[in-house]
């Protein structure tokens, strides 16, 4: 399964990072270095991010439907990606705050040589992490294509053998019956189904790409991990560079004797020595810009991280917000559905992404002929299949003569009128009926509410619904 290598890599990186965190804590206690202690806690935040990703992967393996989660847990990876992205943003925020504090009160590094060694070791760990997760750096498409080409022949042969054995197992295989008449011979069903497997796959998208894009949910999750490791790597780079410059450029004050420290004493000129000693005899602490190097580099790092984290945040949030995936054009889909013969109207069309390439659609289709419905339904399924949507629930509605001009007929089977605000797409705003801006209902058995597309809808109990297309409804609210 695709989960195993991912889990192994995550576990490996998790144990390495945690081990290094312990090492850094111990060294910081031995050298009494506060800077090293703070760096060790940056490692700990990495550990947390990796743990979140690992838990998400573990959950997302359970794709089966259960009592508590009818869709399985596959969305856990998208959630993991969002949590990691927000955590990273919070990390950037705190680094920014520390940098601002460093600008006001610059710190010297206490023990630069020890910091160089530990920083270099941390950088090594992070570079290893970057190497482990580098495939997930981009949007994942480049990875999927290369992966798919490598396994192209294997997958296709595996697929056709799967289909064959399914047919062998049961002569009335229902999924194959979709393309074959129920009465056909098994052999011809075999062949036809195999042809269909090779020819009509996702409306022209090849089988390999299909396999490859399945992982895009986990791509998001691993991208979150990659960004964390990248942030830590950049942090280690800054630590090492800073420590190196401190060792070779900075001249600190000697522990004994007078010292002129222009970087700290700007506010307190009265502390300068007054006994007439010339300036050249009093050692000065090193160039002040060195003290401001650390916070400046940190601020730069924060901007880089935020810039790379924002797309991840947006993508995972859009999936969780039940938006339509970018590949699907809902308006065009709706037009194509309406243009089918026998379809009077389409409403309650919803398309959303569960995770990765699992796109789910529901629609209510109004037809006038129940007998022709099954044929229509087959074509509808085919149309959704062409768009890459394989999990659909289509509700047929029969009867109901008049429809609105736009073809957006209303549901023949709505819930009760009071439920309009609690349906998936009511805004819940009851607007005034025409002529009486203050009353909330037109009559006891009628209610007007505003649908999410801005049209005003009047429901009359027992008589179905009637649409008044009011484009300016929204401005009234």
Partner 1 sequence: MGRYSGKTCRLIFMLVISVIFFVAEIVAGFMGNSIALVSDSFNMLSDVLSLCVGLTASWVSRRAGSGRSTYGWVRAEVVGALANAVFLAALCFFVSVEAIKRLARPEAIDDPKLVLVVGALGLSVNTVGLLIFQDCRSCWCLGSRMKRAHESTKSDGGCEMNGEAGAVSEPPQKEGQPFNIRGVLLHILNDALSSMVVVVTSALFYVWPLDPGAKCNWQCYVDPSLTLIMVVIIMSSAAPLLKETTTMLLQMCPADLPLAALVDEVCLLPGVLGVHDVHVWELCKGRLVATLHVHCSPELQGGGAAFTSLSRQMRQIFHRAGVHSLTLQPEFGEPQPGKGVCAATCLEPSCQKLSCCPHATRQQTAVSQNNGHPLLPLTEVSVDRPDSTSTLLRERAGASKTVQSTEF
- Quote the least distance from Cβ 474 to partner 1, whole Å: 7
Residue 210 is encoded by which pair of tokens? 């299909």
- Quote the least distance from Cβ 261 to partner 1, whole Å: 16
Is residue 442 near partner 1 by the rule CB under 8 A?
A: no
- Quote the least distance from Cβ 281 to partner 1, whole Å: 29
Is residue 464 near partner 1 by the rule CB under 8 A?
A: no
- Quote the least distance from Cβ 20 to partner 1, whole Å: 16
Nearer to partner 1 among residue 247 and residue 439 (C-beta) = 439
What is the DSSP track for 399-437? ------TTS-PPPSS---GGGGGGSTTB---PPPBTTBS
Is residue 284 near partner 1 by the rule CB under 8 A?
A: no
Could you say which residues in the range 138-197 bind partner 1, by CB under 8 A? 159, 162-163, 165-166, 169-170, 172, 174-179, 182, 193, 196-197
Is residue 456 near partner 1 by the rule CB under 8 A?
A: no
Nearer to partner 1 among residue 100 and residue 271 (C-beta) = 100
Is residue 320 near partner 1 by the rule CB under 8 A?
A: yes
- Quote the least distance from Cβ 279 to partner 1, whole Å: 26
**Rounded Cα–Cα distance for residues 127 and 48 (Å):** 18
Q: Beta-strand (E) ranges in 289-390?
A: 343-355, 358-367
Residues binding partner 1: number (CB under 8 A): 127
Nearer to partner 1 among residue 68 and residue 275 (C-beta) = 68
Q: Which of 2, 11, 93, 311 binds partner 1 (CB under 8 A)?
A: 93
Could you say which residues in the range 252-271 bind partner 1, by CB under 8 A? 267
Interhelix angle 289-320/76-104, rounded to 10 degrees, is: 160
- Quote the least distance from Cβ 437 to partner 1, whole Å: 12
What backbone phi and psi angles, to 5 degrees, belong to 448? Answer: -110, 135
Pick the closest to residue 306 from 47, 91, 101 (CA basis): 91
27-48 burial, b at 16+ Cβ within 10 Å, e below that, comes to: bbeebebebbeebbebbebbbb
- Quote the least distance from Cβ 297 to partner 1, whole Å: 20
Q: Which of 36, 50, 76, 239 binds partner 1 (CB under 8 A)?
A: 76
**Rounded Cα–Cα distance for residues 387 and 364 (Å):** 18
Q: Which stretch binds partner 1 (CB under 8 A): 118-126, 215-223, 287-295, 360-368?
A: 360-368
For residues 49 and 89, the answer to whether their CB atoms sit within 8 Å is: no
Nearer to partner 1 among residue 83 and residue 118 (C-beta) = 83
Nearer to partner 1 among residue 9 and residue 441 (C-beta) = 441
- Quote the least distance from Cβ 276 to partner 1, whole Å: 29
Q: Which stretch binds partner 1 (CB under 8 A): 99-107, 128-136, 218-226, 228-236?
A: 99-107
Is residue 279 near partner 1 by the rule CB under 8 A?
A: no
Is residue 110 near partner 1 by the rule CB under 8 A?
A: no
Residue 219: C-alpha distances to residues 18, 25, 316, 317, 323 (Å): 24, 33, 11, 15, 19
Any bridge partners for residue 345, and if so which? 366
Q: Which stretch binds partner 1 (CB under 8 A): 115-123, 248-256, 284-292, 394-402?
A: 394-402
- Quote the least distance from Cβ 136 to partner 1, whole Å: 21
Residue 222: C-alpha distances to residues 93, 141, 397, 457 (Å): 22, 14, 44, 45
Q: How far apart are the first and last CA of the chain?
A: 52
Could you say which residues in the range 46-65 bind partner 1, by CB under 8 A? 48, 63-65
**Rounded Cα–Cα distance for residues 284 and 272 (Å):** 12
Q: Which stretch binds partner 1 (CB under 8 A): 30-38, 224-232, 253-261, 274-282?
A: 30-38
Pick the closest to residue 230 from 79, 80, 54, 49 (CA basis): 49
DSSP state of 397: E
212-233 burial, b at 16+ Cβ within 10 Å, e below that, comes to: bbebbbbbbbbbbbbbbbbbbb
Could you say which residues in the range 189-248 bind partner 1, by CB under 8 A? 193, 196-197, 200-202, 207, 210, 214
- Quote the least distance from Cβ 96 to partner 1, whole Å: 9
For residues 141 and 220, the answer to whether their CB atoms sit within 8 Å is: no
């Amino acid at each position: 399964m695709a989960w195993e290598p991912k889990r192994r890599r995550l576990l490996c990186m998790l144990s390495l990072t945690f081990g290094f965190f312990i090492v850094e804590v111990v060294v910081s206690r031995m050298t009494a270095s506060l800077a090293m202690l703070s760096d060790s806690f940056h490692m700990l935040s990495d550990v947390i991010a990796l743990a979140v990703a690992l838990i998400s992967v573990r959950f997302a393996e359970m794709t089966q439907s259960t009592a508590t989660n009818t869709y399985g847990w596959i969305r856990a990876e998208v959630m993991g990606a969002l949590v990691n992205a927000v955590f990273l943003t919070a990390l950037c925020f705190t680094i920014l705050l520390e940098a601002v504090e460093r600008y006001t009160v610059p710190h010297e590094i206490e023990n630069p040589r020890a910091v160089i060694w530990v920083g270099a070791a941390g950088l090594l760990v992070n570079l290893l992490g970057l190497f482990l997760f580098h495939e997930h750096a981009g949007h994942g498409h480049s990875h999927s294509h290369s992966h798919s080409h490598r396994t192209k022949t294997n997958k296709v042969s595996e697929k056709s053998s799967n289909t064959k054995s399914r047919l062998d197992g049961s002569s009335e295989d229902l999924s194959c019956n979709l393309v074959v008449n129920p009465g056909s011979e098994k052999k011809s069903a075999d062949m036809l189904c195999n042809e269909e497997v090779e020819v009509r796959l996702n409306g022209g998208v090849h089988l390999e790409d299909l396999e490859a894009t399945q992982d895009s949910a986990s791509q998001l999750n691993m991208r979150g991990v990659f960004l964390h490791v990248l942030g830590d790597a950049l942090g280690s780079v800054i630590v090492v560079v800073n420590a190196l410059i401190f060792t070779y450029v900075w001249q600190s004050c000697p522990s004994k004797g007078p010292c002129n420290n222009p970087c700290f004493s700007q506010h307190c000129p009265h502390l300068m020595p007054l006994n007439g000693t010339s300036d050249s005899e009093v050692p000065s602490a090193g160039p002040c810009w060195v003290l401001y190097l650390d916070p400046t580099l940190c601020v730069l790092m924060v901007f880089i991280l935020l810039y790379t984290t924002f797309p991840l945040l947006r993508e995972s949030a859009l999936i969780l917000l039940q938006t339509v995936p970018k590949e699907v054009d809902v308006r065009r889909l709706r037009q194509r559905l309406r243009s089918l013969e026998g379809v009077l109207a389409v409403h309650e069309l919803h398309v959303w992404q569960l995770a990765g390439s699992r796109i789910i659609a529901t629609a209510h289709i109004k037809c006038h002929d129940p007998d022709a419905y099954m044929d229509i339904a087959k074509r509808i399924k085919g149309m959704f299949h062409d768009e890459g949507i394989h999990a659909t629930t289509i509700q047929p509605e029969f009867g109901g003569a008049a429809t609105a001009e736009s073809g957006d007929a209303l549901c023949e089977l709505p819930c009760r009128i009071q439920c309009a605000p609690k349906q998936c797409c009511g805004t819940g705003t009851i607007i005034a009926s025409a002529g009486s801006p203050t009353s909330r209902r037109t009559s006891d058995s009628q209610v007007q509410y505003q649908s999410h597309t801005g049209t005003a809808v009047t429901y009359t109990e027992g008589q179905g619904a009637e649409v008044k297309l009011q484009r300016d409804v929204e401005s009234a609210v």
